[in-house]
Amino acid sequence: MISWEERLRLILAIVDKDRRIPVWMWITTFLIALVGFFLLLPAALSSVSYSFRPTWTWYDYNLRPYYAVSAALTSLLLGLTFAHFHHGEVHRGTIRSIILYPVDMNDITIAKLVSSLIVSAILSTVLFVGVFGGFFLVGYFPLGDFLAIHVTALVMSFLALAAGVFLAQAIAHVAGRMVISPTALGAIFLLLSILMTESGLTFLGTQVAFLMRPSGRGSTIADFEAIRNIAQSLSVFSPHHVGARILAIAFGITGMWADLHVIVPLAVLIFAGGYLFGKKLYLDVFIR
Amino acid sequence: MFGLFGPNGAGKTTCLRVLSGLTQPDQGSATVCGIDVRAAPNEVRRELGILIDIPFPYEEVTVRRYLSFFAEMAGVPRPEIPAKVEWTMSLLGVTPHADSRIGKLSMGERQRTELARVMLSTARMLFLDEPFSNVDVSMRIGLRSILREWVSRGGSILFTSHNLLESEAIVDRYAFLHLGRIIALGTARELKSTLLAPAYELEVSNVDRGLAALRAIPHQTLESAGRGLVRIGLVSRDDAPRIARTLVEANVDLLEMKSVGTMEDVYSRLTQPAPPAVQGVSR
């Protein structure tokens, strides 16, 4: 039996190798953040003056867009970095060397997820804080609250990615081959976690209702209410819905329940199933 | 050192993959170093240094960093990694390329880098699939002595190759695979004596007198091989001691006598297609 210490050593060795991303990625990220910073700087400067320095207050309508920006940013970067680390390794064939060592599928998956988390956490934080940097400098945005939003969105995006990846492992075990790659299913879960939020579903629902409307009639308030009710019911499946609810409670916007009752058991089921099936997977599944 | 040989598609690499716990066997059981491959594939790989398939190294990293990473994966303690990597690089002759990116290396240099990766292993057993492919002749000689030394220090090697002539210098026992089954197993001597007619090449002082004298011994073939050489294929190996005696009696000096059956001949004998079936006769 391979000890946890040995497994951890192997996982950390892979993470240590992966985290050394090319310098151009860092330079590009800093440049984008810098451009965003200067583009928003005039707006930041005009938001305050010597005589008027408003206190920032959180409402539902101003939490949603900033959370959405962070969720989109972290999802994009997590998806891209995981694709680079995991699918890139399979595509280039270098995974053939790694699997010759005493690692199992879970060790590789965990290592690649951790590598993606570390790299995308740094890159996305540079972008998020950099772009809104002007507002933090003039003291208009509370930096701590925005960092809390970003960390929550990052954690929720990571959960969505990890759920997709572990589900792909379980499917691979049942099917006997990699039917859908962990990167692809992870990306689908990242996309769904954004689309399945209340805002995402309401947007999609109104578009569908608009396209399917009888000629000569627009959508009514009743239609919109029905769409929103459905969106609220389905949004409990999105980690970002839960993340935003937790923040809304923390910021004193709402006292509503964070809807953890669906997402937590579902995540536990997927992670446990994926992990157990992953233990049984033979590693030539990457090659076949 | 155990050699696994056979034509393309015989199952050599699949056999190594199953024994390494990488491929699920359809049936049967296998143990490596006392560990059940089906029950604990990871534990099996901990006991092995493996080189399978065409290498796909990280092209963008340097040889030194590549080997340092795999030294860590192989369980070499961190403080010992730099020294072990340097030692392995010098052993395989890749030290001049230590700071070159792997993508810039030739195929032979890549293969030596891959062998260096395997030699970093702390395991006592190596699985080597075509280890000498793309390696030049002078380096092959060096590699053969490295592998022999590994074995002499108590290590074991399971080795596959298409080059049987080269393997004769290092392999102790052979297994010939055909369509996934072992069709012959043994040492070179055992296989040759079982499968080949005893044939010898003799260097004699007078070819004509030698040929005349040797006709007295029951033989399958007897011919001059030019420049003082005579080649004889005996009916029975028991007649081999008669060769020297017969030549001495005929006043012909025997300068050298060597067996001419190679493992390639054994391979050809094992894999030659059956002749077309003749009515009432089958092979």
Provide residues of B within 8 Å CB-CB of chain A.
Answer: 17, 20-24, 40-43, 45-46, 50-53, 55-59, 69-70, 72-75, 117
**A111 touching B (Cβ < 8 Å):** no
pTM for this predicted structure: 0.87
What average pLDDT does range A46-55 have in this prediction? 78
Determine how many CB atoms are found less than 10 A away from the CB of residue B44.
Answer: 25
Return the DSSP state at B281.
B
Do the bridges between strand B156-160 and strand B125-129 make them parallel or antiparallel, or are there none, so unpaired? parallel
Cα–Cα distance, A269 to A277 (Å, whole number):
12
| Contact status, residue B10 vs residue B179, Cβ threshold 8 Å | yes
- Collapsing DSSP to helix, strand or coil, B88 comes out as helix
Chain A interface, best mutation among B67, B73, B115, B122, by max A CB count within 10 A: B73
Q: What CATH number has the domain bearing residue B81?
A: 3.40.50.300
Question: Could you tell me if residue B181 is inside a domain?
Answer: no
* B280 backbone dihedrals φ, ψ, rounded to 5°: 85, -5
| Contact status, residue A148 vs residue A250, Cβ threshold 8 Å | yes
**Whole-number average pLDDT of chain B:** 87
Written as one letter, the residue type at A220 is T
A137 or B54, which is more confident: A137
Chain B interface, best mutation among A2, A101, A104, A286, by max B CB count within 10 A: A101
| Contact status, residue B2 vs residue B156, Cβ threshold 8 Å | yes
Kindly report, residue by residue over B208-255, the tens digit of the pLDDT: 999 999 999 998 888 888 888 999 988 888 888 899 999 999 999 999
Question: Would you mind telling me the total number of residues written for chain A in this entry?
Answer: 288
Strands (E) in B147-194, as ranges, are 156-160, 173-178, 181-187
Token reading at B172: 């102790």
Residue of A nearest to B55 (CA): A97
Q: Are the Cβ atoms of B22 and A99 closer than 8 angstroms? A: yes
Return the DSSP state at A235.
G
Task: Name, in order, each residue with C-beta under 8 angstroms of B5's C-beta and a sequence gap of 6 or more.
Answer: B12, B160, B161, B162, B164, B167, B174, B175, B176, B177, B263, B267
Cα–Cα distance, A2 to A11 (Å, whole number):
13
- Collapsing DSSP to helix, strand or coil, A55 comes out as coil
Least confident residue range of A153-162, B135-144, B238-247, B271-280: B271-280
| DSSP assignment of A170-234 | HHHHHHTS-SS-HHHHHHHHHHHHHHTSHHHHHHHHHHHHHHHSPTT----HHHHHHHHHHHHHH
The boundaries of the domain holding residue B144 are: 2-171
pLDDT on residue B282 = 34
Question: Could you tell me if residue B277 is inside a domain?
Answer: no
Chain A interface, best mutation among B65, B72, B113, B121, by max A CB count within 10 A: B72
Compute the CA torsion angle A59, A65, A66, A71 (nearest 10 deg): 130
Residues paired with residue B134 on neighbouring β-strands, in sequence order: none
Least confident residue range of A156-160, B91-95, B152-156, B273-277: B273-277
Reading phi first (left if > 0) and then psi (alpha if -120 to 50, else beta), residue B228 is in left
Question: Could you tell me if residue B80 is inside a domain?
Answer: yes
Q: Closest CB to B43: pick one of A13, A102, A284.
A: A102
CA angle in degrees (0–180, nearest 5) for B20-B25-B26 = 175
ipTM: 0.86
Q: Closest CB to B42: pick one of A17, A93, A103.
A: A103
Q: Are the Cβ atoms of A100 and B45 closer than 8 angstroms? A: yes
Domain limit, last residue, from B120, B154, B171:
B171
Return the DSSP state at B101.
B
Q: Domain coordinates of chain A in residue numbers? A: 4-197+238-286
Question: Could you tell me if residue B179 is inside a domain?
Answer: no
Do B17 and B133 belong together in one domain?
A: yes
Do B42 and B98 belong together in one domain?
A: yes
CA angle in degrees (0–180, nearest 5) for B157-B163-B167 = 45
Of A134, A157, A158, nearest to A146 (Cα)? A134
pLDDT on residue B130 = 87
Do B254 and B220 belong together in one domain?
A: yes
Do B158 and B67 belong together in one domain?
A: yes
* A264 backbone dihedrals φ, ψ, rounded to 5°: -65, -55
Helix axes B81-92 and B137-152, enclosed angle (nearest 10): 130
Compute CA distances B230 → A255, A266, B13, B192, whole Å: 103, 82, 41, 20
Do B118 and B154 belong together in one domain?
A: yes
Cα–Cα distance, B156 to B150 (Å, whole number):
8
**Whole-number average pLDDT of chain A:** 92
Q: Are the Cβ atoms of A284 and B58 closer than 8 angstroms? A: no
Kindly report, residue by residue over B75-120, the tens digit of the pLDDT: 999 999 999 999 999 988 899 999 999 999 988 888 889 999 999 9
**A2 touching B (Cβ < 8 Å):** yes
**A9 touching B (Cβ < 8 Å):** yes
Do B107 and B222 belong together in one domain?
A: no
pLDDT on residue A78 = 97
B122 or A241, which is more confident: A241
Do B40 and B123 belong together in one domain?
A: yes
Q: What CATH number has the domain bearing residue B256?
A: 3.30.70.100
pLDDT on residue A236 = 93
Determine how many CB atoms are found less than 10 A away from the CB of residue B198.
Answer: 20
Question: Could you tell me if residue B155 is inside a domain?
Answer: yes
Closest CA–CA distance from residue A193 to any residue of chain B (Å): 34
The count of structural domains within chain B is 2
| Contact status, residue B91 vs residue B146, Cβ threshold 8 Å | yes
Dihedral sign (CA A127, A131, A137, A141):
negative
- pLDDT of B165 > 70? The answer is yes
Do B125 and B12 belong together in one domain?
A: yes
Do B104 and B162 belong together in one domain?
A: yes
Closest CA–CA distance from residue B45 to any residue of chain A (Å): 5
* B159 backbone dihedrals φ, ψ, rounded to 5°: -130, 135
Closest CA–CA distance from residue A142 to any residue of chain B (Å): 42
